[in-house]
Chain A
Amino acid sequence: MTQPALRIDGVSHSFGARTALDHVSLTVPAGSFTALLGLNGAGKTTLFSLVTRLYDSSSGTIEVFGFDVRRDSPEALSRLGIVFQARTLDLDLSVRQSLLYHAALHGIGRSRASARAARVLEKFALSDRIDEKVRNLSGGQMRRLEIARALIHDPALLLLDEPTVGLDVEARQGLILEVRRLVAEEGRGILWATHLLDEIEMSDRLVVLHKGRVLAQGPVQEVLDQAGGTDLQTAFLKLVNAPGKTAAGREAAE
């Protein structure tokens, strides 16, 4: 049986009295595109912080390709690429410097990193900007650079936390296509956090997270059947138990 790219089992986490995640369990199969759907405040970013071990969960286990992020964190983290929701680029560095720095953080030497940088920049159509300062890039280019950077150490699982936030329609569609290509052509696993229903396709796997709890997961069709909805919007609203005209419903549907 193939080892899942990510297995989260019974994870809970609180900040003081506020419970951010409550017994979350989910699986991301290797080489799959899994969408993590949830409204703002659902706990998606907290979950990403726990998977990347920015801090440890209060309870439960997280495994990346079978490696426990607490016990075997070097093995787990070296297999992960991450694009956080907020920009994490150093604006004073050039595109090349950003990539080489990130490669160094993964123990990859200069010559190997340069070759990889050329490859990932080509993939994300940024080769001509290699010596440009990051601050001179457009929003869409910065996002593509963040994804390129996350791939420089060749991770088998890529986590993207609402990567299309702030992008225009064209940049957003281009980014989604490029990421889906990473699954189809390179077999990487993707966990794509979003609150936008139109970023999810029927062939994806879906995890619905709401107020820190997983409400449903599986192939999209399975989630639809489980929720009793004919389309994703109806199913999602049924799951979160909110009428279609609430602010929450409108936000997800947009």
Chain B
Amino acid sequence: MSGRGRTSPLSPGGYATCFAGIVWREALRFFSQRGRFLSALVRPLVWLFIFAAGFRSVLGVSIIPPYETYVLYEVYVTPGLVAMIQLFNGLQSSLSMVYDREVGAMRILLVSPYPRWFLLSAKLLAGVFTSILQVYAFLLVAYFWEVEAPVMGYLTLLPVLVVTGLMFGAMGLLLSSLFRQLENFASVMNFVIFPMFFASSALYPLWRIQEASPLLYEICRFNPFTYAVEAIRFALYARFDGTSLAVVTGVAVAFLILSLFAYNPSKGLIARRGTPAMAD
């Protein structure tokens, strides 16, 4: 058997097949792990049903764009919870990447003949796809809890969710390259998720935060999560917030470039250190 004469597998159809395979595998894993889907759904619903309902009488939200009237606190907090779903999903995907690296499944992905940037991006997009499923499942439940957006808003939200999902996924991918073991990475998740969520406009409008603490306001302004929340908030009302989208896109691209560098076979962190199973 001579291997010399065969043609390269990298046809456009081959790329499409490879991409579809990676998305399919992520979807299979997602649906086989029902607990993961349920917890992804229950977490924001708890915030919506308990936290937001409790604060409804305490926190009034004045008329701020994109809202054209006073809104219930549940309505205000929903875009933040959507972003939280994607943040959790992004880090969950990265957690599974660290796990895959530990158990070796990641190696099977990386020895595919397709370029590494393509494989990692496809895996990232597959994670975004599952996060979008979770978001719409959450919005469906929220709809029956008086959180209604214009019908067009549910459509205009979709492209924005792709960008915000990519940002969180790329951030997780970069983080996953920094950790060799699952235990270390799991503990880091808490240090990332909660500060990002609380120091943002997810729970309170920025003007209110500014009144309470100028320092916290500045932190919120430099937190990319704030811009993801605002991009989602505007898109849900069929409006586009250019600044937020630009920041989210820029941060997504930056994280993606850094994570691709980290996974680069000749320069990246993985190359310099190897992984535990590659040490022999």
Q: Give me the interface of A with B, judged by CB distance under 8 Å.
A: 2-3, 5, 15-16, 30-31, 40-46, 49, 52-56, 64-66, 70, 73-80, 82, 84-90, 92-93, 97, 100-109, 153, 155-157, 186-189
Contact = CB atoms under 8 A, between A and B. Distances in A.
A104 B20 contact: yes
A93 B265 contact: no
A77 B277 contact: no
Name the residue among B8, B25, B103, B109 with the largest chain A CB count within 10 angstroms: B25
Contact of A86 (B28, B273, B277): B277
B104 A84 contact: yes
Contacts of B1: 30-31, 156, 186-189
A97 B18 CA distance: 14
Interface stretch (B44-52, B110-118, B211-219, B226-234): B110-118
Contact of A46 (B20, B272, B278): B278
B114 A105 contact: yes
Given A74-B9, A107-B18, 19 more contacts: A15-B273, A15-B274, A16-B272, A30-B2, A40-B280, A42-B280, A45-B280, A49-B274, A56-B271, A65-B3, A78-B6, A84-B277, A88-B107, A100-B21, A104-B17, A104-B18, A104-B24, A107-B11, A156-B6
Interface of B: 1-4, 6, 8-11, 13-15, 17-18, 20-22, 24-25, 28-29, 32-33, 103-105, 107-115, 119, 265-266, 268, 270-274, 277-280
B104 A156 contact: no
Contact of A43 (B3, B21, B280): B280
7 contacts: A16-B273, A44-B280, A49-B274, A54-B265, A77-B112, A102-B108, A107-B13
A79 B108 CA distance: 14
A73 B20 CA distance: 22
A80 B279 CA distance: 21
Contacts of B22: 104-105
A6 to B, nearest CB: 10
Contacts of A44: 280
B4 A3 contact: yes
| Most A C-beta atoms less than 10 A away, residue of B1, B9, B13, B14 | B1
Contacts of B265: 53-56
A189 B273 CA distance: 30
B91 to A, nearest CB: 20
B189 to A, nearest CB: 21
A77 B25 contact: no
A101 B268 CA distance: 26
Contacts, number: 153
Contacts of B8: 74-75, 78
A157 B3 contact: yes
Select the residue from B33, B104, B265, B271 with max chain A CB neighbours within 10 A: B265
B168 to A, nearest CB: 23
A73 B107 CA distance: 15
A166 to B, nearest CB: 14
A90 B29 contact: yes
A104 B9 CA distance: 11
A186 B278 CA distance: 30
B3 A30 contact: yes
A85 B4 contact: no
B83 to A, nearest CB: 28
Contacts of A89: 105
Contacts of B25: 90, 93, 97, 101
Nearest to B2: A30
B227 to A, nearest CB: 35
**In this complex, which of B9, B29, B105, B119 has the most chain A Cβ atoms within 10 angstroms of its Cβ?**
B9
A88 B2 contact: no
Contacts of B105: 88-90
Contacts of B4: 3, 65-66
A143 B4 CA distance: 28
Contacts of B115: 74
Contact of B113 (A5, A74, A86): A74
B109 A105 contact: yes
A73 B115 CA distance: 8
A79 B3 contact: yes
A65 B104 CA distance: 26
Q: Which of A78, A92, A93, A186 has the most C-beta atoms of chain B within 10 angstroms of its own C-beta?
A: A78
A55 B270 CA distance: 8
B171 to A, nearest CB: 23
A45 B278 CA distance: 6
Nearest to A81: B111
Top 9 nearest A-B pairs (CB, nearest first) are A104-B21, A107-B14, A156-B3, A88-B104, A55-B271, A45-B280, A56-B266, A187-B1, A79-B3
